[in-house]
């Protein structure tokens, strides 16, 4: 990693991956991206490759079920497929950096990892916060090239995002912008969700998973997400509640001061 503020632990040997597609799903509005990527990691039985900790992460620890503390971490997993299908790199975790400089540093470090593993395509996942709970969340996409939008175009996703959201703040947005400098194609899928900090956007995550399942031919049972809701809510909402005052308010104040009060999407 590029800074003394970051520590990366590698698990096992570096795998030889086939044209890996990188998918990011860190906490954000409705935790849509996190729910989706955590589900993919579990269902695909992905293997851990890296664990990342940082002094730039929120200054707090989690209390686990054993009444012991855990530092917040971010993890990179991989899934190898047989045949010609591209392999996957999956980025999940408890938190994401909340200030501008560390968000840029983190995103550049992640892109270093993707380049090292010869990845050429980036997918980021997140939520669009609404004032009310959507009955059937719409999914929007934006990207750094028209070519990748064409690749993922379907009846399930709209690329008419201009005017729907303000700036895409955080890692989900920065990865798209910074990937352009490295000649990597990158796309973001954003699902509508309720904008309350304690709301879990399961429906939005499911809509995004349906798109990825079809386009990437993952052959996973998306309906399992419904059956696992209680476990997911228990795990994610506890951490969200513990971190909400530490991260959400700091981040919102910073971004609202910079961009105005109508910022409705964070990472």
Chain segment 173-230, per-residue pLDDT in tens:
999 999 999 999 999 999 999 988 888 899 999 999 999 999 999 999 998 887 776 6
List the domain boundaries for the chain. Answer: 15-259
Name 10's bridge partners. 50
Q: Is 102 strand, coil or helix?
A: helix
Q: Report the pLDDT averaged over residues 70-85.
A: 95
The separation between the first and the last C-alpha atoms of the chain, rounded to the nearest angstrom, is: 21
Strand order, beta sheet including 88-93: 6-10, 47-54, 74-79, 88-93, 21-24, 121-130, 185-194, 139-143
Q: Which CATH class is domain 15-259?
A: alpha beta
Q: What is the CA radius of gyration of the chain?
A: 17
Chain segment 96-134, per-residue pLDDT in tens:
998 899 999 999 999 999 999 999 899 999 999 999 999
For residue 142, the model assigns a pLDDT of: 96
**DSSP track, 57-99:** S-S--EE-TTS-EE---EEEEEE--STTSPPEEEEEES----S
How far is CA 80 from each of CA 40, 45, 199, rounded to the nearest angstrom? 13, 10, 33
pTM: 0.88
Chain segment 140-185, per-residue pLDDT in tens:
999 999 999 999 999 999 998 888 888 888 999 999 999 999 999 9
Instruction: Report whether pLDDT(4) > 80.
Output: no
Residue 232 · residue 203 · CB < 8 Å: no
Instruction: Report whether pLDDT(237) > 80.
Output: no
């Amino acid at each position: 990693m590029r800074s003394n503020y970051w520590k990366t632990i590698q698990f096992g040997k570096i795998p030889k991956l086939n044209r890996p597609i990188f998918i990011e799903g860190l906490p954000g509005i409705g935790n849509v991206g996190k729910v989706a990527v955590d589900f993919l990691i579990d269902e695909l039985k992905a293997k851990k490759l890296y664990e990342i900790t940082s002094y730039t992460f929120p200054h707090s620890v989690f209390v686990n079920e054993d009444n012991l503390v855990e530092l917040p971490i971010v993890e990179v997993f991989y899934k190898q497929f047989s045949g010609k299908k591209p392999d996957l790199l999956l980025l999940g975790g408890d938190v994401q950096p909340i200030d501008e400089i560390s968000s840029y540093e983190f995103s550049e470090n992640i892109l270093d990892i993707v380049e090292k593993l010869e990845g050429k395509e980036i997918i980021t996942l997140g939520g669009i916060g609404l004032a009310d709970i959507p009955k059937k969340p719409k999914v929007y996409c934006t990207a750094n090239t028209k070519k990748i939008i064409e690749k993922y175009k379907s009846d399930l996703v709209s690329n008419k995002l201009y005017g729907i959201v303000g700036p895409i703040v955080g890692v989900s947005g920065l990865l798209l912008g910074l990937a352009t400098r490295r000649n990597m194609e990158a796309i973001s899928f954003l699902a509508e969700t309720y904008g309350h900090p304690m709301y879990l956007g399961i429906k939005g995550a499911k809509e995004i998973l349906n798109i990825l399942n079809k386009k990437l031919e993952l052959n996973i049972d998306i309906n399992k997400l419904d059956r696992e809701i209680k476990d997911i809510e228990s795990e994610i909402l506890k951490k969200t509640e513990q971190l909400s005052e530490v991260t959400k308010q700091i981040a919102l104040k910073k971004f609202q001061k910079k961009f105005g009060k109508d910022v409705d999407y964070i990472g």
